[in-house]
Structure 1
Amino acid sequence: MRRLFIVLAVVVPLSVFTGCSKDGGINLFTLQQDIEFGRQLDSSVMANPDEYKILDKATHPKAYEHLERVRDAILNSGLITYKSEFEWQVKIIDNDEVLNAFAAPGGYMYFYTGLIKYLDNESQFAGVMAHEMAHADKRHSTQTMTKTYGFDVLLSVLLGDKPSVMADVLGQLAKGATSLKFSREHEYQADEFAVKYLNATNGNSNYAPREVAGFFEKLTAAGQSGKTPEFLSTHPSPENRISEIERIWKELGSKVGETYIDRYNEFKSSVSK
């Protein structure tokens, strides 16, 4: 049934797809196609355990309890446009050598243990997740992939006709490679909404939105010693992103929030067991 939907999508006039999303952006793909693309990418991740060793939820329940708590706090911020429509699945990739996270269309998100262990507190990690959720919610991935590969090629991928392209897309997303890097506008927008999402959290997850900038400050300091992660090399510069995050945070009222250091240390310990 799912394949039938996609086949029909190919013969429908292009004007059907060239529409405005809820946030006013334009995307050639339907929401269902975003979800289908993410689902297929996730299947590719799960089918390649040598490259993407996913921590099993059954054997790491505490780790996923922490991960899902952060996700739910952001989803409950009231600012996620496609909260109900997208999957918002979260998974941990066991690789301490990689400081990265990435999101596939439809809300499928992946976080490397190297990044989890590198950060200092839960608000920093929430900032990373919020940034990835913003990319998914604003549908940046399918916009960027369309520009890189072309609309017809991606529809063929959805039909299963170009598995090599699917593998290339996954590799580009996972490595933060430059050919699929988000535009300057997309990166700034994801940073902006990461701050806004965290600013709207409360209760037991009253995150500190300023820590979105703290994450980039930590990466910038690491870069001075030659340890800059690959994805940090994409534009705009970390310094410009930090200043923009600071500006947005102040415009929102400079909420302080909590960092949850002890709770985050428990999270880091739980991915090591």
Structure 2
Amino acid sequence: MRSRMGVLAAAGLGLCLTSCTQVTKTLKAANLGGDVDRVVAATEKVQSCDKLKVAPAIQEEYALGSALAIHWAQQGGGLMLTGTAEQGLNTYVNTVGRNLAMQSPRPELRWTFGVLKDERHFNALSAPAGYVFVTRGLLQGVDNEAQLAGVLAHEIAHVVLKHALNQYVSVKVSTCKGAAVAGAVVSTVASKVVGASRLDGRLDLDSDTELMGKMVEGTVEAFGKGNRRDEELAADALAVELMLSAGYDPGEYSRLLGQTSGGGGLMENHPSKEDRQKQISELVQARKEATDPLARLDVASLQRPALPAAFAIVGPGKKPTGVAKDAK
């Protein structure tokens, strides 16, 4: 019986990928007994999990973002905030980052930028609600402020485009569907996610540390699979717009990408650096040729500011060995 139920449940879940409503009607019409009734109930619960596919409330976003930010800081060896020199560097990175963020469609977020102590990796990471980090190793490979601005703008774009939040929503949906198929034998966390599917689809992470931990764990695991190619290119496209709005030369960001070795990034599904550079060039060229005088780009006005004296604390520069790995 247990084996039969498992096969039926698996079949029901598989068919639900195309049409849970049709599966339910078909099984009910077949009148095959109690086993099928239980499978029908499971398929209906699976279908209800789609109610979780809603944008998280801002409180939920801040809770998730702050927890992920703590995780990235721990993974990166902590923040460079010790002493006057490190604090000066942190202030500078925040000034550049917030200037770019104010050009974005989400200037109201409490944007926070930080430098991780990690010298081994050429990385930048972001989390929902406006948290952006760069590693010390990345800063060692930057030649001017425009290049730094390009990296920060790319991470800001991931936050604005809600790429990490989309991964988080997918985690909620998959957790709910797994619980629906498992039936009564589910964890407390899974049952809470299922409960949310019957309401507005949102979770109160702040009030439940266990729930918070599991959702962050799932999102980090999803992050390990990387962004899709189209998401990376979309982040670059918005980054170009933010840089232009702030007066920076996107060509410097392209040059930084060109200096990296290997493929387009540390994630296999990142687009190649050549594809990214091509898109940047095409976007800038389109602005140069715009028929609207207000949209037309004056290349001569673009800036490539030198790095400040505070930057000396990051140490000697070295050739980048990868492209920013994002927490989208």
TM-score range (shorter-chain normalised) is 0.7 to 0.9
Structure with bigger helix share is: 2
Tell me what 1:41 maps to: 68
Q: 1:165 to 1:37 in 2, by over 3 A?
A: closer
Q: Which runs of no fewer than 5 residues in structure 2 stay unpaired?
A: 1-47, 177-189, 194-201, 289-296, 317-328
Aligned residues: 231
> Structure 1 residues 57, 107: closer, same or farther in 2, change over 3 A?
farther
Q: What amino acid sits opposite 1:41 in the alignment?
A: L
Q: 3-state SS of the aligned residue for 1:210?
A: helix
Aligned residues of 2:124 and 2:138 also touching (Cα < 8 A): yes
The answer as to whether partners of 1:127 and 1:198 remain within 8 angstroms in 2 is: yes
Q: Provide the TM-score with structure 2 as the length reference.
A: 0.61
Task: Give 1 or 2 for the bigger CA radius of gyration.
Answer: 2
| Pair 212,17 (structure 1): closer, same or farther in 2 beyond 3 Å | farther
Whether 2:250 is the aligned partner of 1:209: answer yes
Q: How does 1:127-138 map to 2 (within 5 A)?
A: 127-138=150-161
Match of 1:54 in 2: 79
Cα separation, partners in 2 of 1:52 and 1:149, compared to 1, 3 Å: farther
- For 2:168 and 2:116, how far apart are their aligned partners in 1? 23
Once the two structures are overlaid, the 10-residue window that deviates more, 34-43 or 92-101, is 34-43
Identity among equivalent positions (%) equals 19
Q: Is the 8 A contact 1:101 1:110 kept in 2?
A: yes
From 205, 212, 230, the equivalent of 2:266 is 230
Contact 1:35 1:105 in 2 (8 A): yes
Structure 2 equivalent of residue 160 of structure 1: 209
Alpha-carbon deviations, 1:187-232, whole Å to 9, x = none? 111101110001111xxxx31122221221111xx228xxx8524x
In the alignment, is the contact (CA less than 8 A) between 1:100 and 1:229 conserved in 2?
no
Given the two structures, how large is their TM-score scaled by the length of structure 1?
Answer: 0.73
How has the CA–CA distance of structure 1 residues 267 and 157 changed in structure 2, closer, same or farther, with 3 Å as cutoff? farther
Distance (Å, rounded) in 2 between the aligned partners of 1:43 and 1:235: 25
| Residue of 82, 89, 99 corresponding to 1:63 | 89
Moved more, 141-150 or 105-114: 141-150
The one of 149, 173, 195 equivalent to 1:126 is 149
Q: Partner letter of residue 36 of structure 1?
A: A
Deviates more, 1:144-153 or 1:54-63: 144-153
- Structure 1 unaligned spans of 5+: 1-12, 19-26
**Counterpart of 1:102?**
125
Amino acid at match of 1:56: L
User: RMSD of the TM alignment (CA)?
Assistant: 3.1
Distance in 2 of aligned mates of 1:17 and 1:123:
40
